[in-house]
């Protein structure tokens, strides 16, 4: 039981990272009907930029980590705006069904190559701001950074939801998500809303990068796998449901850690992907998603 609980805690921490990235997919899909297939690279760049900043900010591991986070979030927002401006806006303007897909994939490859040239191809160690000494929870060993990941992921998603519900700019995002044409007729600059949603999406992914980096190795290749799995999480939970992103992330994270221990690490991705296929076959809109009805 203690081993299972330890695997569950590790899976929850990993699943919350998936959930944050999946949450970013939902932000852009809601406002523009498009997805940034370079979300994983946004996480990767956030982690590497954070690593560089931590080495230059003085004040100890904990303070340098805290001071680095706002800078990484701003960097992620700027990177998201760049992706929308270069890769998505032209495709939306000409109403290209697949232009934004290929553009965001191409930008993801470019970002990966840039990262390899700046930080190298070798994986790097990100210094943890918290103690590496685990503490006991119901007999299981839990690392303080795992708790920080869970709290941080929930906090950033809650902050975005509160922003959308309480601020006038957030309400513009919600209005655009509900009906982009109607929002435009009411005077909302939907183009700016879409840009903002991409900035917010990449900012959350960059924040997820500095959350997960102390628990794993940091490198130019870390984003591809995380971004792909997070996309599976978004599909499993539903591209229109924030709760679905959390539930889908927890399912996939726990499934990976338990399968890797009890069966084989070579099969740890299989249960989650099987669930993805099952959800697509039975409920394509996702476990918590709502099927859209279009008039033709």
User: What ranges do the domains of the chain cover?
Assistant: 1-223
Which alpha helices (DSSP H) does the chain contain, by range? Answer: 2-32, 39-54, 60-83, 89-93, 99-119, 144-166, 168-178, 180-185, 190-212, 222-237, 242-262, 270-282
Q: Provide the token pair at 36.
A: 């940034």
Per-residue pLDDT of the chain (296 residues; tens, 9 = 90+): 778 888 888 899 999 999 999 999 998 998 888 899 999 999 999 999 999 999 888 777 888 999 999 999 999 999 999 999 999 999 888 888 788 999 999 999 999 999 999 999 999 999 888 888 878 877 778 888 889 999 999 999 999 888 888 888 888 888 888 888 888 888 888 889 999 999 999 999 999 999 999 988 899 999 988 998 999 999 998 888 888 889 999 999 999 888 888 888 888 888 878 888 898 888 888 888 766 554 44
CB contact at 8 A, 24 and 204: yes
Predicted local confidence at residue 296, as pLDDT = 45
Residue with tokens 């992103």: 245
Spatial CA neighbour of 222 closest among 85, 111, 102, 134: 111
Both tokens of 126, joined, read: 């990100």
pLDDT value for 165: 82
Q: How far apart are CA 58 and CA 2, in angstroms?
A: 39
pLDDT for 292 equals 56
- 3-class secondary structure, 162: helix
């Amino acid at each position: 039981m203690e081993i299972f609980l330890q695997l569950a805690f590790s899976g929850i921490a990993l699943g919350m990272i998936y959930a944050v990235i999946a949450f970013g997919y939902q932000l852009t899909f809601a406002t523009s009907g498009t997805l940034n297939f370079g979300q994983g690279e946004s996480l990767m760049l956030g982690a590497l930029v954070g690593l560089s900043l931590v080495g230059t900010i003085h004040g100890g591991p904990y303070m340098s980590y805290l001071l680095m986070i706002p800078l990484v979030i701003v960097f992620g927002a700027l990177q998201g705006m760049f992706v929308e401006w270069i890769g998505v806006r032209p495709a939306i303007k000409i109403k290209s069904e697949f232009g934004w897909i290929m553009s965001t994939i191409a930008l993801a490859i470019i970002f990966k190559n840039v990262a390899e040239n700046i930080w190298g191809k070798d994986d790097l160690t990100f210094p943890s701001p918290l103690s590496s000494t685990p503490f006991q929870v119901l007999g299981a060993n839990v690392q303080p950074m795992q708790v920080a990941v869970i709290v941080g992921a929930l906090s950033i998603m809650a902050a975005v939801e509160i922003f959308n519900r309480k601020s006038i700019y957030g309400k513009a995002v919600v209005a655009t998500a509900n009906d982009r044409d109607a929002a435009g007729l009411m005077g909302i600059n939907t183009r700016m809303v879409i840009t903002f949603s991409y900035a917010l999406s990449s900012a959350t992914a960059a924040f997820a990068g500095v959350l997960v980096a102390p628990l794993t190795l940091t490198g130019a290749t870390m984003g591809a796998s995380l971004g792909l799995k997070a996309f599976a999480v978004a599909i499993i939970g539903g591209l229109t449901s924030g709760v679905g992103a959390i539930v889908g992330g927890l399912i996939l994270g726990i499934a990976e850690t338990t399968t890797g221990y009890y069966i084989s690490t070579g099969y740890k991705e299989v249960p989650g992907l099987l669930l993805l296929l099952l959800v697509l076959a039975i409920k394509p809109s996702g476990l918590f998603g709502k099927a859209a009805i279009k008039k033709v």
